[in-house]
Structure 1
Amino acid sequence: MLSSTSFLFVLFILLLCGYTLHKVRLVHLLLHEVRDHALREPASLYRQLEALQGLYAELNLCRSLPATRGWAASPDLLLELARHAQAACPQVVLECSSGTSTLVLARCMQLNGSGMVYSLEHDPLYAQHTRRELERHGLSAWARVLDAPLQPQQFGAATWPWYAPDALRGALPQPAQVDLLVIDGPPQATRQLARYPAGPALFPLLADGAVVFLDDSDRPGEQRILALWKEEFPEFEHSSKPCEKGCALLTRRAGGHG
């Protein structure tokens, strides 16, 4: 018979072995995850380089675009936007947040020979930067960056910081019929589900057949937003594009206005 001290010692050894095995398994899984990430990263980078090269070729750009890493729209999303804009020839394009996508879409309008891009931008410094880039590329006639500070606004039973409604008043042609809506703002740090108000605030401005691009759609918050929109705006068909950070597409069915 084991003494109580010996029993506790054996129990301690067994628990220690179990804990050690658990840690070894976690390390093993982590190593596999690191290996898989290391294998995926070059492939992802190559895909973005391919998309960026394709973007320059399709738009026949003679000047460099701003950076497309970090917070900026990824090259594969920009290429999807360019291809859609060139095929659909939208006359009124509305953006939530300005930047490289503004230049790409303005260039598409220029190549199409018609259309206008309106970009809501809450950051005055970034708005000025985008305007300078538009001027540098000779695209100022094809896009307007609208100063739209974030203001507390009521949507449903909650309050969101959203683009000042005065920014759009008098800017869009009347009656407003937006053919393409690109949602890449506000930043998610401003509030949980920060981009949800784009639905109630901007979807009523969309023409039949209009398409909505939602960037960063792989994020849990954006997935929740899409679920809310699907419930509240059943007139839209949902699809997606395999972009780096996720890209959801919503298309308004003909006769979908309430």
Structure 2
Amino acid sequence: MIVYAASLMYLVSVGLLLDLVHKVRRVQRILVGLYDLTQEESARLFRQMEALQGLYIELGFTKSLPCTRGWAASPDFLMELARHALAEKPKVVVECSSGASTLILAKCMQKNGAGKVYSLEHDPKYAQETRAQLERHGLSEYADVLYAPLNSFTAGQDTWQWYVHDVLPPLAEIDMIAIDGPPKDTGKLARYPAGPALFPRLAPFGAVFLDDSKREDERAILQRWKEEFPQLVETHRDCEKGCAVLRLSAQR
């Protein structure tokens, strides 16, 4: 009887020990996973800090820029806009949604010595805030923030809520388009209308930059644009939220 009890206690002890080892290993795997996530997040944030610092240095900002976290365009996307604008020197830039990107592009126009940014903004509060930031940085002459409320836009058999884009002046051609709006919660494929509304006005070799191209909706939008505008060549830049670039060839 004593031997049986001792054996039973031994087996119970071994069972408890094995269970403990299993739990320790499980905790270890969780900790390793958390460490990897922390390392990945740290690297991601460091990259954004590098891009933001690069913007201040390359563009010569002496005053702070608006927030570039959350819903706003990330610094690496803004850097892609700046590099293109400084290299290609676009004369006419149209932007869907205003904010830090408006300041970046306006600063590029200032450094280039020519060019104008036309920013479509559906929220009057944000429109006014961006205008105030432009004035604060001495960039008002290089960008117009146009109040463009969302309205019904029909293409084919579908209807979206998109900017009232007839607020744009009668531009001959558009050299660069930056798309970071409307917000996705305004409807399915919310940014699709930029294609039929603006792409036909692209100048030869004009470029389109689409933010958030890693999202499912944006991937679907790109596929639809690819079918409807085959003359646009699509490439991608390695940005936090994704950056798709569409470039128009010389021939339409």
Equivalent in the alignment of 1:89: 89
Structure 2 alignment gaps of length 5 or more: 1-24
1:209 offset after TM fit, Å?
A: 0.1
Contact 2:106 2:117 in 1 (8 A): yes
1:182-236 Cα distance to aligned partner (Å, 9 max, x none): 0000000000110011111110110010000000000011001101111111000
1:26 offset after TM fit, Å?
A: 10
Structure 1 alignment gaps of length 5 or more: 1-24
Cα 1:193–1:31 shift into 2, 3 Å: farther
1-side partners of 2:68 and 2:61: how far apart? 15
Equivalent in the alignment of 1:233: 229
2-side partners of 1:60 and 1:188: how far apart? 33
Which of the numbers 242, 245, 248 marks the counterpart of 1:246?
Answer: 242
1:111-190 pair list within 5 angstroms: 111-168=111-168, 171-173=169-171, 175=172, 177-190=173-186
3-state SS of the aligned residue for 2:250? coil
Moved more, 76-85 or 88-97: 76-85
1:80 offset after TM fit, Å?
A: 1.1
1:144-169 Cα distance to aligned partner (Å, 9 max, x none): 0011000012111111001013312x
Write the letter of the residue equivalent to 1:107.
Answer: K
1:26-49 Cα distance to aligned partner (Å, 9 max, x none): 999876654432221000011001
Given the two structures, how large is their TM-score scaled by the length of structure 1?
0.85
What RMSD, in angstroms, separates the aligned Cα atoms of the two structures?
1.9
3-state SS of the aligned residue for 1:162? strand
1:172 offset after TM fit, Å?
A: 4.2
1:9-158 pair list within 5 angstroms: 34-158=34-158
Write the letter of the residue equivalent to 1:236.
Answer: L
2-side partners of 1:172 and 1:239: how far apart? 29
Cα 1:50–1:150 shift into 2, 3 Å: same
Given the two structures, how large is their TM-score scaled by the length of structure 2?
0.87
**Percent of paired sites with the same residue:** 59
2-side partners of 1:107 and 1:60: how far apart? 9
Aligned residues: 230
2-side partners of 1:103 and 1:179: how far apart? 18
1:118 offset after TM fit, Å?
A: 0.2
> Greater Rg, structure 1 or structure 2?
2
2-side partners of 1:31 and 1:195: how far apart? 40
Equivalent in the alignment of 1:19: none
